[in-house]
Amino acid sequence: MEKQVLTPVNENKPQKATNFKWSNIFRGDNRALWTILALIIILLVDRMVSPTFFTVRMVNGRLTGSLINTLDGAAPIMLLSIGMTLVIATKGVDLSVGAVMAICAAVSAVLINRHEAGSDNILYYPGFVIAIAILVGALCGLWNGILVALFDVQPIIATLILMVAGRGIAQMITDGQSPTYTDETLAYMGQGTILGMPFPVYVAIIALVVVYLLVRRTALGLLIESVGINAKASHYTGVNATVIKLFVYIISGICAAIAGLIVAGENTYADPHTAGLWSELDAIVAVVIGGTLLSGGRFSLVLSAMGALIIQSLRIGLYISDLHPNANLVVKAIVILLVLLLQSKEFK
């Protein structure tokens, strides 16, 4: 019988080191790391440009300062990114969110004007006006969902239809005007404060928490991811992809409606031409910065919200740097390119 020789293992012998790749911090479970680092770096750059960036003061019961303005301005983008994250996770995209903002802002302004003109119709009361505007947003999302889920129209085409037509619809609602209003309830949506903090910040945080609990404390999140990874395979396992897609587009429409109410309330008027303009780009960039792949699948609502903060921090930084306003679009395009490169197979 042949003798077996056992070679002792030297536990102190150094193990072969794993090759380090910079790309490793941009993917997998470390996707949160580079998002946080990006936000910190941009905030520090803003601080270098404006030494008083982190200075916060209380003026007439309202917190003021560049940092507060960043949080306030990021609220609509954060709302849009919540809905956009779910849509992109299903391997879709919603290009209509900016137009939906304009439509819902127009609806709220026109209805509240009738209330201010003396109408006793209960539907023109502020609470009902807000509810109707949100319902309109949900219907817009349902329209997109029907085209995508039932008629199998490519998401980019289906939502592009409403993106183009939505501006026209908003202008028809307002007769091409920009109706103003003085109602305090609707104005509070964009101008109100609670304990000094702008009300839109609370709205965005509440929306984030509610949707997060909805998709992460139930099986809904896994169903959304399964549809995005492989819709056919998920169908064979009993997942109703049609219902899931309808749901995410409706949520996107509702988030866009609330964002539209905030923007209109901040200005106390609804401009059908500019309300929500380019907001779809902000939302998409925020989502991809947060690590959600455009090819669908895994997603993170929290990281998308951080992506929204990054977008607004960039905007504030460019503003206080006195750069040309159009530089904002160029920077966003560069950010999109960098993120897509980081997510590409070639980079990995």
**pLDDT value of residue 29:** 52
**Bridge partner list, 57:** 64
What does each of the 348 residues of the chain score in pLDDT, given as a tens digit? Answer: 445 544 444 444 444 433 434 444 444 456 788 888 889 989 999 999 899 999 999 998 899 999 999 999 999 999 999 999 999 999 999 999 999 999 999 999 999 999 998 888 898 999 999 999 999 999 999 999 999 999 999 999 999 999 999 999 999 999 999 999 999 999 999 999 999 999 999 999 999 999 999 999 999 999 999 999 998 888 888 899 999 999 999 999 999 999 999 999 999 999 999 999 989 999 999 999 898 988 899 999 999 999 999 999 988 888 888 777 677 778 777 876 776 676 666 665
Rounded distance between C-alpha atoms, residue 162 and residue 169, angstroms: 9
- How far, CA to CA in Å, does 2 sit from each of 5, 6, 197, 283? 10, 13, 80, 69
**pLDDT value of residue 24:** 47
In the chain, which residue ranges form alpha helices assigned H by DSSP?
31-49, 66-89, 97-116, 126-145, 155-173, 184-191, 199-216, 220-229, 231-236, 241-267, 279-289, 301-320, 327-343
- Fill in the DSSP letter of residue 276: T
**pLDDT value of residue 143:** 98
Rounded distance between C-alpha atoms, residue 221 and residue 239, angstroms: 12
Place of tokens 């201010």: 116
- pLDDT tens-digit series, residues 120-141: 889 899 999 999 999 999 999 9
Rounded distance between C-alpha atoms, residue 42 and residue 74, angstroms: 14
**pLDDT value of residue 228:** 95
**pLDDT value of residue 33:** 82
What phi and psi values does residue 59 have, to the nearest 5 degrees?
Answer: -125, 115
Structure tokens at 163: 């993106």
**pLDDT value of residue 9:** 44
**pLDDT value of residue 222:** 95
**pLDDT value of residue 25:** 46
Query: What is the fold of 67-343?
Result: ABC transporter involved in vitamin B12 uptake, BtuC (1.10.3470)
Q: Which residues of 192-228 are buried (b: 16+ CB within 10 A; e: fewer)?
A: bbeeebbbbbebbeebbeebbeebeeeebbebbbbbb
